Structure 1
Amino acid sequence: MGRLLPVSLGRGGIRTDKREGDGATPVGIHRTLGLLFRPDRIAAAALPDWALPIGLEDRWCDAPDHQDYNHLVRKPFGPSQERLRRGDPLYDMILPLDWNWPRAVPGKGSAIFIHQWRRPGFPTAGCLAFSRQDLLFIARHAAPGTRVIVRA
């Protein structure tokens, strides 16, 4: 759409051999899976009607040896998981990417999202992060299936 948007990437750099916990952003052509948002912080009316609210119990499984690895799960959940409803604003809106999904290879990496950054240039754990304003623009224009290209 003719815009250049500053982005923060993983602290482990951009890698072709992404592994769980390496902090790297995976190289490739990824697709957005949808949009999740915090309804207590973002008005649903500001987002596309296909956006889904993040519930109090929503988690993302990052346990490589679990059948739900790299998928949305709900609490209670014993194995390792990432809370989607965080105290900070990083996950107020997230667009999960199809990296290592839907049939996740154990240890190849999980929870690669587009989300809000902490501040410009501050690295992520492997995700792509943008300012809140730019993220809102992306959320309004990146329907499920939108291509996201990460090059080394």
Structure 2
Amino acid sequence: MVLTPTGLRFLGRRFPCTTGRGGVVADKREGDGGTPVGAHQIVGMLYRPDRIAPPTAWAVPIGPGDLWCDDPAHEDYNLMVRAPHPASHECLRRADPLYDLVILTDWNWPRAIRRRGSAIFLHRWRRPGYPTEGCMAFDPAHLSWIARRITPATRLVVRG
């Protein structure tokens, strides 16, 4: 998968997508809204089992207490954790459909460097052209198509 100025190229197709509100950045920092430059490995996939079928055999269901720690001062920074959790976190099981399907990259993972930015996900967009906090977002049908065809060996290449 390669991010280009006109979208994501993958398996001979191009998919429109949005990136972070801070643009593509070479020096990612927590809260900058940037999508980091690099060759990122796909390290997991999460899905809402109450809303969609598993997109692959290796996808993991998102449970009611699943969270992602985004507190740079906490030892669980940039890791999936369970509720209750004392540090700042994002709920993975959202009321909206944004995280019904989430593809995880290895950005600043598994041993996070403080303030370098937490999780870069591939997920569904709010609407076309609406930026993310640093993730990449897609039309839900396109995200589903991509999810069914990637493997943990797939790389996401973001050029500066």
Work out whether the TM-score is over 0.5.
Answer: yes
CA RMSD after TM alignment:
0.7
How many corresponding residue pairs?
A: 150
User: C-alpha displacement at 1:125, in angstroms?
Assistant: 0.3
Q: Which residue of 2 aligns with 1:131?
A: 139
Q: Which residue of 2 aligns with 1:22?
A: 32
TM-score by structure 2 length? 0.92
**What is the CA–CA distance in structure 2 between the aligned matches of 1:143 and 1:82, rounded to whole Å?**
25
Q: Which residue of 2 aligns with 1:101?
A: 109
Is 2:26 aligned against 1:13? no
Aligned residue among 51, 76, 79 for 1:41 = 51
Q: Which residue of 1 aligns with 2:95?
A: 87
Aligned residue among 122, 125, 150 for 1:117 = 125
Q: Which residue of 1 aligns with 2:8?
A: none
Q: Which residue of 2 aligns with 1:142?
A: 150
User: C-alpha displacement at 1:145, in angstroms?
Assistant: 3.1
Whose strand proportion is higher, 1 or 2?
Answer: 2
Render the CA deviation track for 1:75-126: whole Å, top value 9, x for unaligned.
0101000100011111000011100011100000002100000111110000
Q: 2:147 aligns to what SS in structure 1?
A: helix
Q: Which runs of 4+ in 1 moved over 6 A?
A: none
**What is the CA–CA distance in structure 2 between the aligned matches of 1:143 and 1:94, rounded to whole Å?**
14
**What is the CA–CA distance in structure 2 between the aligned matches of 1:25 and 1:145, rounded to whole Å?**
21
Paired residue type of 2:97 = P
Q: Which residue of 2 aligns with 1:62?
A: 70
User: C-alpha displacement at 1:63, in angstroms?
Assistant: 0.5
**What is the CA–CA distance in structure 2 between the aligned matches of 1:148 and 1:15, rounded to whole Å?**
15
Q: 1:137 aligns to what SS in structure 2?
A: helix
Q: Percent identity?
A: 58
**Which structure 2 residue ranges, 5 or more long, are not aligned?**
1-10
Is 2:41 aligned against 1:31? yes
